[in-house]
Amino acid sequence: MNLWIAQILAVVRLEWRKTFFSKRGIWIYALALMPVVLFVGHSISALNHPGRDADFGEETNIFAGIFQVFYLRLCVFFGCVGIFMNLIRGEMLDRSLHFYFLAPIRRDVLMAGKFLAGLLAATVIFGLSTALQFIANYWYFDSQQLREFVVRGDAVHHFLAYIGVTILACVGYGSIFLAAGVLTRNPIIPAAVILVWEAINPFLPGFLQTVSVIYYLKSLCPVEVPPQLPPPFSLIAVNPDPASPIVAIPGLLLLSVVVVIWAGRKIRHLEINYSAE
């Protein structure tokens, strides 16, 4: 076990540099920055209209809508496509995966190390983005209102809940796209299939709803998306039968562990055939 931990840490050390500083990953930073820019723009606009009432309830709903419909489903989703699919498939394209396969490390241990390295990167990038969005959204309120929101309101609870949901989104989507990187050559196909699957989630039978990431994430969000959102967003965001946190958190983690283990078994049979890439 100690050897596995040492090996996993060695993989994480090797990977984090590649994941954080790869030129190929610049667009992931752009994805994470996009909603921050949106909220900063929103706050600047509010500051330029001093007569406008600052309404915490409205801002909270706006944040919930953008977080669920735009940030989780597009930014975090495609960010995870970029980070996690690159861990195996990117090395195939770079023709450097064989270095891992020629080391005395079990391939499932390698997968665990790669997953943790990807998770570290995704969590830092998108967790930080969530925090900045949250701050930017309420930035234009005056200090007295903000103090009230933090001390007596839901600020801390919401902040921690959104950070937690972001991390769980990285865990869930990360595990799926890591597995997809082992199974498929073209990231577009699994990304498109899973995007559609996640979008139709509210319309699926109860059991199938649980075989998705967004079902658990929606259930864990501290604020439901307001019904006044225009279709199709309101349809996508609706959560008729939310899971309780006691079910949602272990459920999502279990789903992710199963997917990573399954990918670990699949990678045992993966062959190095760069000419086919």
- Return residues touching another protein (CB under 8 A): 2-3, 6-7, 10-11, 13-14, 17-18, 21-22, 94-96, 98-107, 268-269, 271-274
For tokens 């998705």, name the residue: 212
- C-beta of 59 vs 91, nearer to another protein: 91
In whole angstroms, the minimum distance from the beta carbon of 277 to another protein comes to 12
Residues sharing a CB contact under 8 Å with residue 249, sequence separation 6 or more, in sequence order: 168, 216, 220
| First-to-final CA distance of the chain | 35
Residues 181, 87: contact at Cβ < 8 Å?
A: yes
- C-beta of 100 vs 141, nearer to another protein: 100
Local structure of residue 212 (DSSP, 8 states): S
In whole angstroms, the minimum distance from the beta carbon of 91 to another protein comes to 8
- C-beta of 75 vs 92, nearer to another protein: 92
Using alpha carbons only, what angle is made at residue 239 by residues 202 and 230, rounded to the nearest 5 degrees? 85
CA distance 250 to 90: 30
- C-beta of 15 vs 198, nearer to another protein: 15
Give the HSE-up count for residue 267: Cα atoms under 13 Å, Cβ half-sphere.
28
Q: Alpha carbon of 37 to those of 8, 83, 149, 255, 258: distances in Å?
A: 36, 22, 23, 33, 36
- C-beta of 5 vs 189, nearer to another protein: 5
For tokens 């890591």, name the residue: 178
Count of positions (residues) in the chain: 277
- C-beta of 102 vs 246, nearer to another protein: 102
In whole angstroms, the minimum distance from the beta carbon of 104 to another protein comes to 4
